[in-house]
Amino acid sequence: MPGTKNAASHQEAATFTLDLVPSPQSTKKLQNKDSSLLDGSSSGSSGLEKAKGITGFQTLVHLVKGNMGTGILGLPLAVKNAGILMGPLSLLAMGFVACHCMHILVRCAQRFCRRLNKPFMDYGETVMHALEASPSTWLQNHARWGRHVVSFFLIITQLGFCCVYIVFLADNLKQVIEAVNGTTNNCRSNETVTLTPTMDSRLYMLAFLPFLWLLVLLRNLRVLTIFSLLANISMLVSLVIITQYIAQGIPDPSRLPLVASWKTYPLFFGTAIFSFESIGVVLPLENKMKDARRFPAILSLGMSIITTLYIGIGALGYLRFGEDIRASITLNLPNCWLYQSVKLLYIIGILCTYALQFYVPAEIILPWAISRVSERWALPVDLSIRLTMVCLTCVLAVLVPRLDLVLSLVGSVSGSALALIIPPLLEVTTYSSEGLSPLTLAKDTLISILGFVGFVAGTYQALDELIESGDSLPPSNATLPIQ
């Protein structure tokens, strides 16, 4: 791959992450543009872009929205896997460490932007330049592999999100349909609901496939803005209703263990780090701000809000439902139309968000693929790859229909690498020439080791649970009678 063109295409793709998905023709043009933008010669246009950038409040909203997916609904089960005391304390610690690692990434990216006179630098480029600046000749010679590794984990992470979304959509729609005959307007009734069996949840996943195809064919994110707004509203309303319900009638918490078994803690780790996985949007948000100097403060505020919300939902959900908590807290809600509407609203929100999460891997893969064909074949290749990737996420969801284990597996594999392992190593390689204090080295080493241990333990535990479940599928997210 030609170095200049490759850098230009990835740079512009990252720059426009929040604005538009280019068509194949525009992707070709991006790849053929002069690289003067990256060399700083277009500082005027960069300044103009900053003038039209997003405000601090908009940045805060985007940052919070980047963490509001299905992960938060799985946190009560995650707290169960850690314990009612250990869970919230671990979420607090992980939120602090995740925020610190995001600050490291922003600081390193800004350093290389100033050094190389570039207006913007994405995650992969930052890692590549950090390896080039390291004292190790071997790392310098393999710097591009650092960029490829980050791209690989970003693809795995985002496609993992898409798989989780499909499982979530199927589970919740299945429960709504099976309970529709017994759904009432009385939300205080404790009567047992008799469910009407329908088709397997995996068939529900396949039923969503045509809708997902149509969504990813909308290549312009300006068009998807309407869907994004709809997703934000539906998820916000759902979370408010869920919170007011679980805050009522909390039983005696003394029956819950303060610290759960160490064997289930890796599952907590995977789910929690999955929920905190917004590091991929940090640099695009920082670049789009009118005044990027305010970004560190906004980042700290946003992560504080997110961590507080996670602890609240996770702890209250486990306190409310105890050992009966499911993989998604929506599956524990009463069988009345108010709370069934919560599931439907969240289904709409997640369905609309699928295309937005799908954008990241598409923008990494499509420019590379389209650059290797003539302009005549650009559109067919673009559409074929999009549809193939959607089918891949659906197939993976069908093969692993355990929502709790998918959350944990994706978080352990790619979330640990992107959020905990790479940023501390990035700081060491970036500032090694200037000399790092022993305290900083110890801190970075500790964070990377913890991330690696979580990576190994969480992945092993999730895979072990998947193997044990086999074809019997005793899933914790199964649709069961609600008391």
Q: The CATH number of the domain where 224 resides is what?
A: 1.20.1740.10
Give me the average pLDDT of each 10-residue run along the chain (483 residues).
41 38 39 34 39 75 76 89 93 93 93 88 90 87 90 86 87 84 65 64 88 81 66 83 86 87 86 80 82 89 92 92 86 81 85 80 87 87 91 88 73 83 92 86 93 86 74 42 32
Give 414's DSSP letter.
Answer: I
The predicted pLDDT at position 24 comes to 40
Asked if the structure places residue 482 within a domain, the reply is no
Tell me whether residue 410 is in a domain.
Answer: yes
- Indicate the SS3 state at residue 215: helix
In a domain, 474, yes or no: no
The confidence score (pLDDT) of residue 447 equals 94
**Predicted local distance difference test score (pLDDT) of residue 50:** 47
Global pTM?
Answer: 0.76
* CA separation for the pair 106, 247 (Å, rounded): 37
- 289: β partners: 54
Q: List C-alpha distances in Å: 24 to 197, 217, 368.
A: 45, 12, 11
Quick one: how many helices (H) and strands (E) in the chain? 21, 0
Domain-located, residue 480: no
In a domain, 475, yes or no: no
Contacts 24+ apart (CB under 8 A), 236-239: 237/342, 237/345, 238/330, 238/342, 238/345, 238/346, 238/349, 239/68, 239/72, 239/313
Q: Percentages helix, strand, coil for the chain, rounded to the nearest 5?
A: 75, 0, 25
Report the pLDDT value the prediction gives residue 224, as an integer from 0 to 100. Answer: 62
Residue whose entry in the numeric block shows the structure tokens 């030609």: 2
H-state helical runs in 179-276: 201-216, 221-246, 265-275
SS3 187: coil
Domain count, the chain: 1
Q: Domain limits at 413?
A: 3-469
